[in-house]
Structure 1
Amino acid sequence: MISESLLPWYDKHARDLPWRLSPRQRCANPERQFTDPYHVWLSEIMLQQTTVVTVKSYYLKFLDLWPTVHELAAEELDKVLSAWAGLGYYARARNLHRCAKMISEDFGGVFPNNEEDLLVLPGVGPYTAAAISAIAFDEPSTVVDGNVERVIARFYALKDPLPGVKGQMKACAAKQTPAQRSGDYAQAMMDLGATICTPRSPACVICPIQENCKGRKGGIAADLPKKAPKKIKPTRRTYAYVFKDNKGRVLLRRRPDKGLLGGMTEVPTSGWLEGQDPLLDPTLEVLAEWDSFQGIVKHTFTHFHFEIVVRSAEFSQDVSRLAKELGASWHSEDDFGALALPTVMKKILRHAKLST
């Protein structure tokens, strides 16, 4: 069993992470054996598609603002989105708020301890359910993230490419999940993948499970897991319209709750067109005399590249009427920090010589 060699290594070398109760912390305080489920859930939602380094400061900020799930549930969605701005994948923030409400109102603030019940929660998929179950409650759940996939692929020398091999990876990982200390084992596997069994140049000579690793023995560890060729990302293009009034304020509006960047604050744009030049928005064009800034703003989402031409104009007429027509509101630069501005919108405003 991997756990026989891995857990002693983890007891000595566990990463110090703000959402984790390490073996050393438990030894120092025997009454605290497991991490608060709220902390596990919050960190795991943030860590989806995001690096540990990036998540640390956001996690601590959220706990400072909302120390309990009840306080997070009682907060306005806009303030949660604002605190989330910069983490990306904003559907996670909306689901985070929905889930907090469900836990607070329907579960009395108590997280379920098993995968089946956890999967009912908004934004909680199989991986997150397994992670909460194992880490917060020490249930023997099989936790498989990218790090674990890599360790398992190398340990068993699984040569079929991702994503087709994922089912086999999960089955192999399940065989290795111990009945006791499942949460520590899950975190140990993640640490092993993050610090030793890394994507490039794995440090096999110091790996605690090298003795039984088929990938190391076959000299193919560094080549696993194999991946199918990446699809070429398409490019979408648009115009962004930066309205300014004579007080230096900018017109911003909220995006629809559903869809990409749902519920976030945006600079008005024309259609996001794929594979062709952007089209001017006739409704916005007639409202002012526009100038385009030189250069374009570039941003990359998960499934496409994004290119934006930024146009700017001063609007000195009935600013209240304009805001009402566009479903928007006027904001000074001092307001930007409190708004739920995604990174791409911050780039647009900076391109328009505004600080964010």
Structure 2
Amino acid sequence: MTPSEREAFQTAFMAWYDEHRRDLPWRQNQEPYRVWLSEIMLQQTQVQTVIPYYERFLATFPTVEDLSAAPEELLLKTWEGLGYYSRARNLQKAAKQVVDDYQGKWPQTSAELEKLAGIGPYTAGAIASICFGEVVPAIDGNAFRVFSRLLKIDADIVNPKNRSIFYDAILPLIPKDRPGDFNQAVMDFGSQVCTAKNPTVGDTELAPFFRSYQDGTLLDYPVKTKKAKPKPVALFAVVIESEEGFLFQKRPSTGLLANLTTYPLVMAEDLQDGESELLMPEEQMTRIEAYFKEAYGLTLAHLKPVPVKPVTHVFTHLKWTITLLSATIAKDSDLAFFPGEWYSKAALAEIAMPTVQKKMAQRFDSL
């Protein structure tokens, strides 16, 4: 754009935002703790879904000091339902960094903010511009979509190396007196008008600025290579009961669902001797019994399939298909080698449950 075109675009774009900006709870002020919390929650999650979680989380942990000192179980329980629990753990790591390394005062530049756990270039740009007035882009999916269509940038947005192309293109467009509002305008315009499907750019006064709209190629942007399909993974979940209640497993401290509680899970591939071996149902039961005996020293009784459909759950790169089984063990069984404990139904209501576990419990309870 020429300098006069940039100025005209800035004026029109900020006028659009002033008229159409969303009234969101984290926009009530520019306190960095509130802005940071909202940005982390909005990763992978829609705005309307986030709002009640945001308000509950803020009520539980009103300050960065409260979050820093929170017990992990309370943190995960408060986060429950938002998924991607590594985000919650990184929230607390970053909170501890702010309290311990920065004496409770937030870094004020995007470069310094990126040193905090879980904060990448987009989140750093959003916080720095909104809270501290730094003239820096906040480049997420909305920004890629808006500016690829505005300027007909045909760089593949899946390639991380191409982010610098967008950074360099967007930076001159940011008004120096309203960088935070500009980045929030991009968020709102991208999610409400310049949407992936059925965009309504042509109904706004910004249409003349969008080069792809002018030549009818709006939907050709952004250029994006297709993601690989999530890898299918087959598992068994064993619902184990005794007079003590239900036996739940605490997941390992690293990997998917780290430190969260689920029914004991066994990957189907761990039951196989050969890569292409096809096991009959009876053989599967025998090998699962042997697995529990060898791994945990537990003797399963009455192991059988639960007559319900398997549970499916998609992570970013994996698609789990989980077959539910039921079994019992003696209530005095030695759990010394089992990473979990017995829970009554009442006790289960007090611990953080990942979404996939909720799906399994609902499927089991539907019997």
Same fold (TM over 0.5): yes
The residue type equivalent to 1:190 in the other structure is M
- Within a 5 Å distance, the mapping from 1:18-57 to structure 2 comes to 18-21=25-28, 34-57=29-52
Among the aligned pairs, what percent are the same residue? Answer: 35
Cα offsets for 1:251-279 (capped at 9, x unmatched)? 11321222111121121111364997796
Separation in 1 of the partners of 2:347 and 2:318? 30
In 2, are the aligned partners of 1:312 and 1:352 still within 8 Å (CA)?
A: no
Separation in 1 of the partners of 2:49 and 2:22? 15
The residue type equivalent to 1:59 in the other structure is Y
Separation in 1 of the partners of 2:42 and 2:352? 19
Q: SS at 1:326's partner residue?
A: coil
143-152 or 1-10, which deviates more: 1-10
Partner of 2:296: none
Separation in 2 of the partners of 1:172 and 1:56? 32
Q: SS at 1:150's partner residue?
A: helix
Question: Over aligned residues, Cα RMSD in angstroms?
Answer: 2.1
Aligned pair count?
340
Q: SS at 1:338's partner residue?
A: coil
Separation in 2 of the partners of 1:354 and 1:312? 14
Q: CA deviation at 1:283?
A: 3.1
- Within a 5 Å distance, the mapping from 1:228-307 to structure 2 comes to 228-247=225-244, 249-271=245-267, 273=269, 280-281=287-288, 282-284=290-292, 286-294=299-307, 295-307=309-321
Separation in 2 of the partners of 1:197 and 1:151? 6
Residue 210 of structure 2, aligned match among 213, 226, 232:
213
Partner of 1:183: 180
Separation in 1 of the partners of 2:109 and 2:73? 31
Cα offsets for 1:12-55 (capped at 9, x unmatched)? 2100111113xxxxxxxxxxxx5110001111111111111211
Q: SS at 2:327's partner residue?
A: strand
Q: CA deviation at 1:10?
A: 1.1
Separation in 1 of the partners of 2:224 and 2:137? 22
* Structure-1-length-normalised TM-score: 0.89
Q: CA deviation at 1:241?
A: 1.3
Partner of 1:25: none
Partner of 1:91: 86
* Structure-2-length-normalised TM-score: 0.87
Cα offsets for 1:212-234 (capped at 9, x unmatched)? 21011111112311221332222
Separation in 1 of the partners of 2:269 and 2:359? 19
Separation in 1 of the partners of 2:337 and 2:227? 43
Q: SS at 1:16's partner residue?
A: coil
In 1, are the aligned partners of 2:240 and 2:329 still within 8 Å (CA)?
A: yes
Partner of 1:316: 330
Residue 115 of structure 2, aligned match among 117, 120, 123:
120
Runs of 5+ unmatched residues, structure 2: 1-5, 294-298
Higher Cα Rg, which structure: 2
The residue type equivalent to 1:258 in the other structure is T
Separation in 2 of the partners of 1:350 and 1:114? 46
185-194 or 108-117, which deviates more: 108-117
The residue type equivalent to 1:117 in the other structure is E
